[in-house]
């Protein structure tokens, strides 16, 4: 039976390449639903035009969600079997660890900890952002709660994960979507 992966993408440059991650996850057998943070949605909508969102809807076969539904509305996506937060921003990682749930993306990942769902987070941030003292706290909190945070931070858990780049020197084409997908705990 096909299993469903929610790809939750935040507003960092790899979100504009979400199709790469979607195709890689589909090749690994997942039915992929894309959820964007509100700002990542705005980037796709205003920099990519409706065409980009249409292509993502067509690629996944599902609506692209970015906001909570109304209580009276039905769920439009199948229930997830796993969550992949990629790219995970400094903003979302720190809010997530502190239990903020004021966006659909944060609502899914905060609740996901307790359901519990397998969750992998692949950050994308520069090495100035990575020095913020809230980041190691957030990563430790999330790891203790069972999230696989793929951040190369000198800990054994982070070994092989994303390594923060100098400001203005990010490389979205090297973003390791495939590594994160291979790390998802249970293959479909
Ligand atoms: C061009 C641009 C690039 C950005 N790149 C990053 C990034 O690589 N990592 C990061 O954590 N934040 C980055 N930010 C900041 C986030 O977009 C910002 O913190 C935003 O509020 C994140 O919201 P979200 O976590 O809900 O997606 C960038 C912002 C801009 C305008």
95 in contact with ligand 1, CB cutoff 6 A: no
What is the per-residue pLDDT across 78-135, written as a single tens digit (0 to 9) for each?
999 999 999 999 999 999 999 999 999 999 999 999 999 999 999 999 999 999 999 9
Write out the residue range of the structural domain in which residue 52 sits. 3-67+78-183
> Residue 166: pLDDT above 90?
yes
Residue 73 within a domain: no
Residue 72 within a domain: no
The candidate with the shortest Cα–Cα distance to 17, out of 173, 149, 184, is 173
Residue 45 within a domain: yes
Residue 188 within a domain: no
Our mutation pick for probing the ligand 1 site, out of 9, 89, 165, counting the most ligand atoms within 8 A of Cβ, is 89
94 in contact with ligand 1, CB cutoff 6 A: no
The candidate with the shortest Cα–Cα distance to 34, out of 12, 14, 11, 61, is 61
Residue 113 within a domain: yes
Residue 186's pLDDT is 62
The candidate with the shortest Cα–Cα distance to 166, out of 139, 136, 116, 130, is 130
What is the per-residue pLDDT across 52-78, written as a single tens digit (0 to 9) for each?
999 999 999 999 999 999 999 999 999
Residue 176 within a domain: yes
> Residue 7: pLDDT above 70?
yes
Residue 8 within a domain: yes
Q: 83: domain CATH number?
A: 3.40.50.1950
Please state the pTM of the whole predicted model.
0.97
Task: Name the band, by pLDDT with cuts 50, 70 and 90, for residue 11.
Answer: very high
The tally of domains found in the chain comes to 1
Tell me how far the alpha carbon of residue 185 lies from the centroid of ligand 1, in angstroms: 27
The total of other beta-carbon atoms located within 10 Å of residue 23's CB is 13
User: Which residue has the least CA distance to atom 25 on ligand 1?
Assistant: 92
Q: Which atom of ligand 1 is nearest to the CA of 170?
A: 8
Please state the rounded mean pLDDT for residues 141-163: 95
Residue 188's pLDDT is 43
Q: Is residue 142 within 8 Å of 186, Cβ to Cβ?
A: no
Tell me how far the alpha carbon of residue 119 lies from the centroid of ligand 1, in angstroms: 21
Q: Rounded to the nearest 10 degrees, what angle do helices 18-27 and 38-60 cross at?
A: 40
Residue 56 within a domain: yes
- What share of the chain has pLDDT > 90, as a percent? 94
């Amino acid at each position: 039976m096909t299993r469903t992966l929610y790809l939750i993408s935040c507003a960092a440059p790899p979100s504009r390449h979400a199709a790469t991650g979607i195709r890689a996850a589909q090749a690994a057998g997942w039915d992929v639903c894309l959820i964007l943070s509100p700002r990542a949605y705005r980037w796709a909508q205003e920099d990519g035009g409706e065409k980009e969102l249409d292509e993502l809807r067509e690629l996944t076969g599902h609506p692209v969600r970015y906001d909570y539904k109304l209580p009276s509305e039905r769920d439009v996506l199948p229930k997830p079997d796993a969550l992949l937060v990629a790219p995970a921003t400094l903003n979302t990682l720190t809010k997530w660890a502190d239990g903020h749930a004021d966006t659909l993306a944060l609502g899914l990942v905060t609740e996901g900890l307790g359901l519990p769902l397998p969750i992998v987070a692949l950050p994308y941030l520069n090495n100035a952002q990575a020095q913020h003292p809230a980041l190691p706290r957030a990563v430790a909190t999330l790891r203790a709660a069972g999230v696989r945070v793929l951040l190369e931070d000198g800990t054994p858990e982070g070994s092989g994960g994303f390594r923060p780049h100098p400001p203005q020197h990010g490389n979205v084409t090297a973003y390791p979507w495939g590594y994160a997908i291979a790390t998802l705990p249970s293959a479909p």
